[in-house]
Homo-oligomer: A and B are copies of this chain.
């Protein structure tokens, strides 16, 4: 098998195809690129030559001249977390359906990592990016503005950034939390613990202090906390700082804090958990205290899963449209990429309270 040009690494170029077909590069490019007009005859010759040589377009080169990479980026806290995994799945599926591929970057809630991630995506000339940002204040959004300034469309997902007037795809965390806590209140509870939320080193002395802390933390955490307070307010239940968790958001800490709330003289009779590990941490504390739900304490948590449904008793949970969040974000982004005006609006998807059997009346009732 002699003389075949660059058979080497199977890297066949359009010129080689043209040569094989006996036509000019442009003709080959036109038929292979699917643009312009080519006579049926030459067209066939080119196609045959491409087939024979095993030609595959070099997307990089194509991007070079067209300026579009058909690639988007998605930046989340942790792709290993089932919530973000589902969300990223939605992004990948929706973008793939429209001919785009997805680069995934995890930041582990580190703002510097997030900045680095946007730079990577800018450098790789993605056509747009989706960010579940850890940024909260107006000073932390420089990297997002930078991307925008460089012509890379951005849509926010899961977490809105009030300081930024951008398209965002979220659920109504505040309302979902309020509904859950209302449910607890309706069952007769007045001592309701809030597990997980804005991370604080000090217990908040006042409600104002709590909200201030929330403003320095993740948007979702703040919203869920506000929903909790909303429900309390509506029912005229005074806010008790002792009933909110303080410290790092890790399962162990949730266990400790719930244990503390359980040891209070006037102890909690219900718990609202804002995340999976807040719930599992709480469950550990209950077991350690030899308490059971919903008899001793009622439970509602965020992020439903197959496990929550098979717990005994099954857990009442808030289900988020994880896949939908990502898919919608991709749709909105690609609409912009493909010419639509950036809507700069907040798209709110519906969450759903799945009522099972972890809520009952408080012990005394």
Interface residues of A, Cβ cutoff 8 Å to B: 9-11, 56-61, 63-64, 69, 71, 78-82, 84-86, 88-90, 92-93, 96, 101-106, 119-120, 122-125, 149-151, 251, 276-277, 280, 283-284, 287, 305-312, 322-323
Indicate if the CB atoms of A151 and B10 lie closer than 8 Å: yes
Partner of A149 from the list B10, B78, B85, B306 (CB cut-off 8 Å) is: B10
Is the Cβ of B103 less than 8 Å from the Cβ of A71? yes
User: Which residues does chain B contribute within 8 Å of A123, judged by CB atoms?
Assistant: 56-59
Contact (Cβ within 8 A) B101 A79: no
Least CB distance, A322 to chain B, in whole angstroms: 8
A119 — which chain B residues lie within 8 A by C-beta?
Answer: 56
Known: A59-B124, A60-B69. 19 other contacts (CB 8 A): A11-B150, A56-B122, A58-B125, A60-B64, A64-B64, A78-B89, A79-B85, A80-B90, A81-B85, A82-B82, A92-B104, A101-B105, A276-B306, A280-B307, A284-B310, A287-B310, A307-B308, A310-B311, A312-B312
Which residues of chain B are within 8 angstroms of A105 by Cβ–Cβ distance?
Answer: 92, 96, 101
Given the known inter-chain contacts A276-B306, A305-B307, A310-B280, please indicate yes or no for A79 contacting B92, CB distance below 8 A: yes
Residues of chain B within 8 A (CB-CB) of A120 are: 101
Q: How far is the CA of A104 from the CA of B57 in the complex (A)?
A: 20
Q: How far is the CA of A328 from the CA of B352 in the complex (A)?
A: 39
Once the chains are docked, how many angstroms separate the CA of A18 from the CA of B25?
A: 33
> If A58-B125, A60-B125 touch, does A9 touch B150 (CB 8 Å cutoff)?
yes
Complex contacts, A10 vs chain B, CB 8 Å? 149-151
* Cα(A33)–Cα(B276), bound, Å: 45
Contacts of A59 in B (CB 8 A): 123-125
**Given known A92-B105, A101-B103, A124-B59, contact A309–B280 (CB-CB < 8 A):** yes
Q: A101-B105, A102-B103, A106-B92 are in contact. Are A61 and B58 (CB under 8 A)?
A: no
- Contact in complex: A89, B106 (CB < 8 Å): yes
In the assembled complex, which residues on chain B have CB atoms less than 8 Å from the CB atom of A310? 280, 283-284, 287, 311
Q: Which B residues touch A284, using CB under 8 A? A: 309-310
Distance (whole angstroms) from the CB of A253 to the closest CB of chain B:
14
Closest 8 CB pairs of A and B: A85-B85, A80-B89, A307-B307, A9-B151, A10-B150, A283-B310, A280-B306, A59-B123
CA–CA, A309 and B122, complex, Å: 42
Contacts of A104 in B (CB 8 A): 88, 92, 102-104
Q: A124 and B277: CB pair below 8 A? A: no
Q: Specify the chain B residue showing the minimal Cβ separation from A8.
A: B151
Residues of B within 8 A of A125 (CB): 58-60
20 sampled A-B residue pairs with Cβ under 8 A:
A9-B150, A10-B150, A59-B124, A59-B125, A60-B124, A61-B64, A79-B89, A80-B86, A80-B88, A85-B85, A85-B88, A89-B106, A92-B104, A92-B105, A276-B306, A277-B306, A280-B306, A283-B310, A284-B310, A310-B311
For A312, what are the chain B residues with a Cβ–Cβ distance below 8 Å? 287, 311-312
